[in-house]
Amino acid sequence: MASTNNAASSRVVSYSVDSEDKILGVGDAWGEFAASNGEGDRLKPDSVVGKTLWDFVRGQTLVELYRDIFGRVRDTGRPVRFDCRCDSPNFQRRMEMTVAHLGRGRLQLTSRTLSVIKQEKPLVAHAYDVGLSVLKRCSLCNLYELQCGDWTDASTAVECDAVMDQQGRVQIAWTVCPPCRKDLVAMGTPTD
């Protein structure tokens, strides 16, 4: 994999939600980022504003963890920051997300791209809630669970567990791996 050091590696994507988690607005980089993920038509700024954020988050486990984080931020008024991944078929992106309270239950979510690595072999994955030969993918770190229970990168998972169908596609079930879950839960634990 080759690393890229261009404007995309310092991109900041932001959006805000109201007290019911409906999207109030998106930042200037939203449209370009959605397009770079192959979602430009579906995720145009005017098509997401006013909709619940949960329509766009994959996996019930991640929804529950984000709701917990949102509750903590709203209750304490203190921002929460954590690392995550937001990959596209062509790029692996490491990001840092910050959830900050804006008052009256509103939140600002800001994702700053830390690094971008071009995938030598694009990965085409299709998400399914259930199915046979499903590969579990962590929504935060984007590692995949092997049948033995270990978590690894996409190419290793596909090679080891032979989960591709005849068209070269992978069925994905979104979840949160144990280390990421532990890290997120620990954010709610007071350290003082």
With tokens 């997401």, the residue in question is 48
Long-range Cβ contacts of 157-160 (<8 Å, 24+ apart):
158/123
Q: What is the pLDDT of residue 33?
A: 86
152 neighbors 37 (Cβ within 8 angstroms): no
- pLDDT of residue 7 exceeding 60, the answer is no
Residue range 73-106, pLDDT digits in tens: 999 999 999 888 888 777 888 999 999 999 999 9
Average pLDDT of every residue of the chain: 81
pLDDT band at residue 189 using 50, 70 and 90 as cut-offs = very low
Neighbours of 90 (CB within 10 A): 15
DSSP SS3 for 175: strand
- pLDDT of residue 43 exceeding 90, the answer is no
Among the listed residues 13, 93, 6, 21, the one whose alpha carbon sits nearest the alpha carbon of residue 54: 21
Instruction: Give the mean model confidence (pLDDT) for residues 9-17.
Output: 88
Which phi and psi (to 5°) does residue 113 adopt? -75, 125
Residue range 143-184, pLDDT digits in tens: 888 888 899 887 777 667 656 655 556 677 888 899 988 887
Domains and CATH numbers, the chain: 2-187 (3.30.450.20)
- pLDDT of residue 3 exceeding 50, the answer is no
- pLDDT of residue 192 exceeding 50, the answer is no
**The model's pTM:** 0.70
* Measured distance CA(159)–CA(161) in Å, rounded: 6
With tokens 């579990």, the residue in question is 136
Rank 7-16, 62-71, 95-104 by mean pLDDT and report only the highest: 95-104
Rg (CA), the chain: 17
Q: What is the pLDDT of residue 24?
A: 98
Q: What is the pLDDT of residue 178?
A: 92
